Structure 1
Amino acid sequence: MSSILEKLTSNMTATGDLKSDVYQFLLSNHCPKTAEHCMEVGAESRRVAGIVGADQEQAEIAGWLHDISAVFPNDQRIDAARELGIDVLPEEEVFPMIVHQKLSKVMAERIFQINDLAILEAVGCHTTLRSHSTQLDQVLFVADKIAWDQNGEPPYLQQLKEALEISLPHASFCYLHYLWERRSSLKVIHPWLREAHEELNLILN
């Protein structure tokens, strides 16, 4: 394991209970709010997976793991990504928060020994989605937006829930389009988000 990851796990003892281990990992690295958020997204991912007929266990695990990279402050994320061999896009250089999805994917594999590629890929695109997204990608993407980590109720929530009643791709597109309509106010437009929006727009419209 990389030295930067070893430092993060030095204060915890793995129990084999993934949910508990993820929670304790985040607590031991001073991220209690993220610990709660990851548990909430795990539960919401399981719920959404049940609605659309996806694998509920995979969805829940992906939810628990999706934000474990919160242990790296924003100003350390690009260096951490490079040390872990992650390809960093120019947009991620400008807005390091976005690279956290890639960091979480690598950390899930190397710290928590996740070898289910579907789970890892979903974790790795949960903020932006991607083109040719899988059902599990979209489950986690939508669940994370429903169980968001800010105060109050998301402004798009009712519209997103109504879209989910139609289909999972409609719900995914609903949030992507919400961002797309506000793209002039975004710090960057991640190319994966752009590609996912274009693709779902063609498929659904």
Structure 2
Amino acid sequence: MHDIFKPITASIAFTGDLKTDIKSFLEVSNCLDTATHCIDVGTECRRIALMFNANPTKAELAGWLHDISAVFPNNVRLDVARQLELEVLPEETVFPMIIHQKISRVMAKEIFDITDQDVLDAVGCHTTLRSNSSLLDKVLFVADKISWDQKGTPPYLEDLNRNLQISLTHGAFAYINFLWEKRDTLKVIHPWLRDAYEELKDKVHLV
């Protein structure tokens, strides 16, 4: 385990039950809302996985893990990423919140001993998606957007759910397109999201 993770795990008595341990890990760091959000996303991941013949166990686990990097506030995430020797893109320097997906991926592997590449990859792109995304990538991406961590109803939810009835890819693209249409108001457009948009825009016809 990387030294940067030792202070935030020192007081945790890991039980081996991943759901319990992930929830406890977040709660000990006073990330109570994130703990609830991660469990909710895990539940939504399982539901969506069963709709589209993805592995529900992997999907649920990815949901539990996706935001565990919330224990590191935005103002230290760039430093954490650099200590972990992650690639930091210019857009992530401008808007460090986005890099939390990469940090969560490393934490899932090093703290919770996750070795399944499908799960790790989904966690690592859950905010932006990416080109050539896997089935599990899209399951987590969509589940996170449905079970969002803000108050009220997401402004894109109706469109997302309507398109999800066509396919998982339609559902994912509905959210990507929502961001794309308001891109001039966003701090950054992450290149992975741009890649996903360019890949899917001519393949998916939204309803």
Q: Tell me, yes or no, whether TM beats 0.5.
A: yes
| Matching of residue 24 in structure 1 with residue 18 in structure 2 | no
CA distance in 2, matches of 1:80, 1:2: 11
What TM-score, normalized to structure 2? 0.98
The AA in structure 2 aligned to 1:96 is P
Whether 2:166 is the aligned partner of 1:174: answer no
Alignment of 1:65-80 (within 5 A): 65-80=65-80
- For 1:195, the aligned partner's letter is D
Match of 1:145 in 2: 145
In the comparison of the two structures, how many residue pairs are matched?
205
Aligned to 1:200: 200
Give the aligned partner of residue 157 of structure 2: 157
Report the Cα offset of residue 30 of structure 1.
1.0
* 3-state secondary structure, aligned to 2:154: coil
* Structure 1 position 3, deviation (Å): 1.5
Work out whether 1:103 is the aligned partner of 2:103.
yes
Residue 105 of structure 1 aligns with an amino acid whose one-letter code is R
Q: 1:203 Cα shift? A: 2.2
Q: Percent identity?
A: 58
Give, in angstroms, the shift of residue 85 of structure 1: 1.4
Work out whether 1:56 is the aligned partner of 2:64: no
Post-superposition shift, 1:202?
2.5
Residue in 2 that maps onto 1:43: 43
Amino acid at match of 1:106: V
Structure 1 spans left out of the alignment, 5+ residues: none
In 1, distance between residues paired with 2:152 and 2:12? 32
Q: 5-14 vs 96-105, which deviates more?
A: 5-14
Supply the AA of the counterpart residue of 1:111.
Answer: I
Amino acid at match of 1:70: A
Deviations 1:164-183 (A, max 9, x none): 10000000100000000000
CA RMSD between the two structures:
0.6
How far is the alpha carbon of 1:15 from its aligned partner?
0.2
Q: Distance in 2 between matches of 1:146 and 1:25?
A: 24
- C-alpha distance in structure 2 between counterparts of 1:183 and 1:168, whole Å: 23
Mapped partners of 1:159, 1:174: distance in 2: 6
CA distance in 2, matches of 1:99, 1:22: 20
1:120 counterpart SS class:
helix
- Unaligned runs of 5+ residues in structure 2 are none
Q: Distance in 1 between matches of 2:115 and 2:159?
A: 35
